[in-house]
């Protein structure tokens, strides 16, 4: 597991919880409210109560698992355009299916990412020892200070050293206290 993967697990779990929440299926009350409203607008006058009940059961079974908000959006579209009960379920699915498919794909992506984060840890990259590093440095002819040694100070050009010395005199720079005074 990469170092950042473990830190991302809580975020991925929160994203998964949200994705699953957006896929929570509509309940019986949602189905009753939406499907009954659709059926009342376009049921033929001769449709018996038993036929309406059977239609509602068949429609509910066909739309089983659909999220409540997508059911409501599909039912709203169906109420606007359907003139017969046989058109209602296809209209609801036509409206809801694209978003429902996206939500299922989102959940699948988050689930896959979470599985990869929790998967087996990747083996650590092999590192050379300090002795091996020293041999490599010597073989390449690099001038690297020994461990613990301070790096050499960069050399200051003569012209800059003269300017610094001239600026540091008490006559030209009163901001620096002179120890003689």
d(CA 22, CA 98): 14
pLDDT digits (tens, 9 = 90+) for 78-129: 999 999 999 999 999 999 999 999 999 999 999 988 888 887 766 777 888 8
Residues in the chain, pLDDT under 70: 1-5, 121-122, 145-147, 151-152, 168-181
d(CA 175, CA 46): 104
Instruction: Give the pair of three-digit tokens for residue 74.
Output: 């599909």
Spatial neighbors of 86 by CB under 8 A, at least 6 apart, are none
Q: What is the pLDDT of residue 3?
A: 44
Give yes or no for a contact between 81 and 91, defined as CB atoms under 8 angstroms apart: yes
Instruction: Give the pair of three-digit tokens for residue 102.
Output: 């996206």
Q: What is the pLDDT of residue 99?
A: 96
């Amino acid at each position: 597991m990469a170092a950042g993967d473990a830190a991302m697990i809580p975020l991925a779990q929160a994203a998964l919880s949200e994705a699953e929440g957006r896929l929570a299926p509509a309940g019986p009350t949602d189905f009753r409210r939406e499907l009954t409203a659709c059926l009342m607008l376009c049921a033929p006058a001769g449709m018996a109560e038993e036929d309406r009940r059977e239609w509602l059961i068949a429609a509910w079974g066909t739309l089983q698992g659909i999220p409540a908000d997508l059911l409501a959006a599909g039912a709203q579209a169906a109420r606007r355009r359907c003139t017969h009960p046989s058109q209602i379920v296809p209209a609801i699915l036509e409206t809801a299916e694209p978003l429902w498919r996206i939500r299922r794909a989102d959940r699948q992506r988050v689930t896959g990412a979470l599985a990869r984060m929790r998967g087996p840890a990747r083996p650590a990259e092999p590192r050379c020892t300090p002795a091996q590093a020293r041999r490599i440095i010597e073989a390449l002819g690099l001038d690297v200070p020994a461990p613990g040694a301070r790096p050499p100070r960069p050399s200051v050009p003569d012209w800059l050293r003269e300017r610094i010395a001239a600026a540091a005199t008490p006559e030209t720079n009163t901001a620096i206290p002179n120890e003689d005074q």
